[in-house]
Structure 1
């Protein structure tokens, strides 16, 4: 099977979609398939073309096109960079030999429009990997106005892409419901969640963790938010909780990563004098992911209410792999809330419920035994259901089914008919 993957970010980028794309591509190569990726020559958010135009990594042929001229200078500048990538990626995809199936991601938004083009002109099967939904996300976050001409145009474009795909892979039940509401036929919707590798990310004992030593955590409980501080994430609730707990010397917070709201986090910590209780750090190397996630005793995952279904934060699965409990902030309808509650591996509170969040944090701080038990259930949930082995096997079955054009078979472990 010849597989083409199109996403603006790919190895060696540390963005989540780059890592999951690389994981899937490596797995397909290991199972004897031929994989090619089209990505940008720029690291996400940076100016210039830092990466080679062509190389082979782990048996994956990577073609890099375009470059970022503006980085994250502003919305208009980013749209210009997106347009450059759209054109360059489309031309490269048309020039390459025919592939059996193309997997289009959602970075940049609407790169999935390349899928129907390849389907029409090269008879390539098309799978839409729905990591986020646009224009739903900017509308929900107030960046675009609902009902505006631009919103209606992009909504129409995305619906056409969803309906043109041979399969739309969604990340959770909430996302499946939203895609279904757009008129996408039921037999096109497949639910395959994202993952973490239980072998790559393992629990690291407290006394062996260099992050805890570097940050002078000692025997205190560390609460961490790690990853993207994006426009769809609620940071206000956990920042207010950190302020409420600033005089509790047994608790520390760490805010690790980047994104549009990272500056808001940094400003809040400085404004309220929380530097002694809140650690601020940039993204960390993937090679140290297990150590980073294991440094925390408790992890935060958040999503603005109204954004559930539009995106599904993937950070939860690394947390599960590290054997740590998760505190989810957002709607109980979110896939993340459901996974946490169903597996009893943390707690779920609503956006804005600062008192509730503080109470849960203090409860875990006061009961290390309960905290460790929740972490053990988290690790077990990953191994039994949410690990890379399950998800990657589901992807292989889906792609093999589509390229063989056989009658749909019953969903098996790791994949569900959404």
Structure 2
């Protein structure tokens, strides 16, 4: 039962109408918790992701019954790493000051996600000063991620300082949310021997089961418009970042040149130019491998269900650092999932557990070729694994399932 004398403040860089996956998830979470009886307020910024939303939002508004307050800080479109660093720094400092000076007559619990990367440390410090409880939702584990990407050297002074403060934020949290058991184990290791791992709840991300529904290619206008109906198509849709192993997928696609197989890559990101260049070097861009930009929001139910197989991929070394939100979208689409990840990664475990696709390790070009050939030769396997994916999604990874778990954790 919710406590009438307690308020919950969700701090997130992204919120409706931003279409970043974090923004969608945090919007669902805030509205869902409000509908279940919690007193919710959201502190966020102006839309600045790839949504195309240029219209400035009111400083104070309501969305789905939730109070939404937006900072006045200057923010720019997130089109490069320097721009993201600028936004992250401004948002984190501004939010720290806003929270430090805020007034409340109720008991307060702060809920925040691990993005921007320095936000958890700032929220730990402000909650320590003000005496508030907090819930730390880990979408990406820092400083592990920049270390794996070689942005900062392991064991360097910046790494040790960041790790020290992040460990303090884990130790002092009231609740911590991990996206899978591998991530939970990594959090426990990072937090050190004094950490009580029972405070970590595994709550998966989700997709809207009504927004994304399986569609036959022959009845999907997007498949028809892009010539996907009569070829065996493998789809990747989302951010094309340094932490996604699309190189292995493109190299495998070269083995199907002049065959009725195509790879469609939809999205933008820091690594897109390198993936496009690789396809051009292999002589398969525009033939076996096609590239499209992010699609309009209203077209996503069609673009995400336009292929025969959906791809979820992470960089080697990212086990437990993140769990791709694309996994839940791919399963919602009712397609087999080609998971390019280590066998013990959370994504691979889920796909294996429900027989919802095939997982292949990063760099295993031959493994991807064999998986595609297996699906092509056995249409009944495509249908069976696709049905398994959708069934597992409906039973485990819907918004209601996960938000109910959040509510029980926070209210009870």
TM-score normalized by structure 2? 0.91
Contact 2:49 2:77 in 1 (8 A): no
Match of 2:251 in 1: 240
Match of 2:277 in 1: 267
Distance 1:165 1:286 in 2: 35
Q: 1:387 aligns with which of 391, 394, 398?
A: 398
Alpha-carbon spacing, 1:149–1:18, altered in 2? closer, same or farther (3 Å): same
Classify the secondary structure of the residue corresponding to 1:258: coil
Alpha-carbon spacing, 1:38–1:129, altered in 2? closer, same or farther (3 Å): same
Alpha-carbon spacing, 1:344–1:70, altered in 2? closer, same or farther (3 Å): closer
Shift of residue 201, structure 1, vs aligned partner: 1.6
Alignment pair present for 1:154 and 2:152: no
Contact 1:49 1:67 in 2 (8 A): no
Q: 2:34 aligns with which of 22, 29, 34?
A: 29
Q: Which runs of 5+ in 2 are unaligned?
A: 1-5
Alpha-carbon spacing, 1:124–1:326, altered in 2? closer, same or farther (3 Å): same
Distance 1:80 1:21 in 2: 22
Shift of residue 189, structure 1, vs aligned partner: 1.1
Contact 1:203 1:291 in 2 (8 A): no
Distance 1:32 1:25 in 2: 11
Alignment pair present for 1:62 and 2:72: no
Shift of residue 260, structure 1, vs aligned partner: 1.5
Shift of residue 329, structure 1, vs aligned partner: 0.8
Shift of residue 69, structure 1, vs aligned partner: 4.5
Match of 1:257 in 2: 267
Contact 1:104 1:114 in 2 (8 A): no
Classify the secondary structure of the residue corresponding to 2:321: coil
Shift of residue 297, structure 1, vs aligned partner: 0.8
Classify the secondary structure of the residue corresponding to 1:32: coil
Q: Which runs of 5+ in 1 are unaligned?
A: 402-418
Contact 1:44 1:71 in 2 (8 A): yes
Shift of residue 48, structure 1, vs aligned partner: 8.8
Alpha-carbon spacing, 1:47–1:158, altered in 2? closer, same or farther (3 Å): farther
Match of 1:128 in 2: 136
Q: 1:111 aligns with which of 101, 105, 119?
A: 119
Q: How many pairs does the alignment contain?
A: 399
Alpha-carbon spacing, 1:93–1:323, altered in 2? closer, same or farther (3 Å): same
Shift of residue 53, structure 1, vs aligned partner: 2.5
Distance 1:194 1:285 in 2: 22
Q: 1:92 aligns with which of 92, 98, 118?
A: 98
Distance 1:320 1:47 in 2: 28
Distance 2:291 2:142 in 1: 30
Match of 1:412 in 2: none
Shift of residue 73, structure 1, vs aligned partner: 4.1
Classify the secondary structure of the residue corresponding to 1:318: helix
Contact 2:112 2:137 in 1 (8 A): yes
